[in-house]
Structure 1
Amino acid sequence: MPPVESWPGYHFVPSTLILSLLVKVFRKVICESIMKVTCGAELAVLFVETLVKGKIPFDEDILDRVRKIYKMFPQIPVPSNLGDDDDVQELAEALGAAKTRVEGCSSFLRAAIKWSAEFGAPRNGDPQLHVMLAEYIYSESPELDMARVSYHFVRGNNPKKFASTLVNFMGKCYPGEDDIVIARAVLMYLSMGNLRDANYLMDELKRQVTSQELDFPQSDLVQFITFLLQTLERDALPLFNMLRVNYKSSIDREPAFIELLDDIGEKFYGVRRRNPLQGMFGDLLKMM
């Protein structure tokens, strides 16, 4: 598809009109057939490129247009029952289509997040866009990556929805994986200096688990997270370091936790990193 600025008359048409036309074209393409999702996703990215090249500032009107495009991306449950060869073939096709949808929607929303950060939204991009991306990845991805989902939720503005997503995941994850997703979510919030939402998330998780008559994970890792939240409420660097030593075996269950804790030490206590090569985990997640 040729660049939008090469379209005949592009420089003589108001940017708002071009944006409206792109939304209408996208709606037609994305709704005609699931086979055209790739083309629709390319149009969605083109919409964002138009925002960037036109230096369109971030505002609620443009955000609403982005949201409308997002809602037009299909959400189709992947079949779970395997039977004869036809069913296996159907499942393979469904998984491939789901992967295409997630890649397309992710490319669009990542571009929109970057645009928003450059043209008036908070430094990390608009929080609502992060929530949209987290939700779509969680609901549609055939190969679910909860680290990626959590990365966007903690940059969003809806910890209650994040808690609901985690509770849903806890109901279908492997045994012993539930406390890791909880710890990762809390540590990600804390690594950004966001103690408020980290505490809210833990409280909301416990509330939702209780209301659904489920069991909240009881492990050394969860105990560590509980003590950590209490420690960060005060100036207690020695206690912070002691917790890291005493719960080292639990922390080591997830390699990324060490880096997140280093970020937390720097955010809350001004502790500088010992290894200048650290930070690679966060850099990798930024590409998600």
Structure 2
Amino acid sequence: MNTSVRLLVTGASGFVGSRLVNRLSCSGGSVTAFSRSPGSGSLACPHVFFDLSDVVDLRELIHGHDVVIHCAARVHVMNDTSADPLTEFRKVNVDGTLNLARQSADAGVRRFIFISSIKVNGESSLPGQPFRADDLPAPHDPYGVSKREAEDGLRALAAETGMEVVVIRPALVYGPGVKANFRSMMRWLNKGIPLPLGSIHNKRSLVALDNLIDLIVTCIDHPAAANQTFLVSDGEDLSTSEMLLRMGEALDKPARLLPVPAWILKSVAMLLGRQGVAQRLCGSLQVDISKTRTMLGWSPPFSGTAAMRVTAEAFKAEQVLSTVR
């Protein structure tokens, strides 16, 4: 990365943004952090607080930056209680993103990197048919729809203004500090709870946080990245059973997996109205990163095994701290 490039990172207090800012700062880059709140950590760079849903003039603050890396978003909500979830997602992920991008173009930003989601491609892939970057989008839920609409708007803005746009769609991201289902699974394994997931033969792509960060950094000044869409993963696919076994090994807590057939799990989930959970546990979602490898000359620098160990060590350290408190 060229350290003379002036960078602006949104969502800088979030899971991806905070790690990215620290990586860029440690590399000697000139970084300004934008976020809605301070977050739990400290950032060694100038920090601006703003909310994507607010319509404010940011051009003076953006002026002088060469590249904007847009990590901020209304993230996927498992049990959304909004009366109109799509409208809520659009306020931030579409309107907020395009307002920021328009002002970035006006302020002379050269490149806008948008962290999207594999949900733009869809919720599940067919066996042996992984998603590709140039597949027709097929989002199903409001979050995925909002990310697709933001991508479409950014491409139109790029064509209009000449500002380069790079879209990155990560698979499921994990790493130190991961939340949601991934953290729940680590908690279950750490407690030694038997799980009925020993006979799941799906295939799912994951991406370690540091692998995602490395691709983002590559896209900052790589000439071939301009106006392209890239998928990113660790470059290997695991079944849910394999992922839990690897996770248990990393936690030094052997996974206790019961060989319950997937069709039984799906039937029970349907009776309980939890089909979405069953889909995530039993369905496949694979991504093909060959375009990312070929066009950018990029490969994931960290193995899934090593990244899982780092994730597990951070989780165990958090558990020790929580007991001390």
TM-score, normalised to structure 1, is: 0.29
Q: Quick check: which has more Rg, 1 or 2?
A: 1
Q: Which has the higher strand share?
A: 2
More helix by share: 1
TM-score (norm 2): 0.26
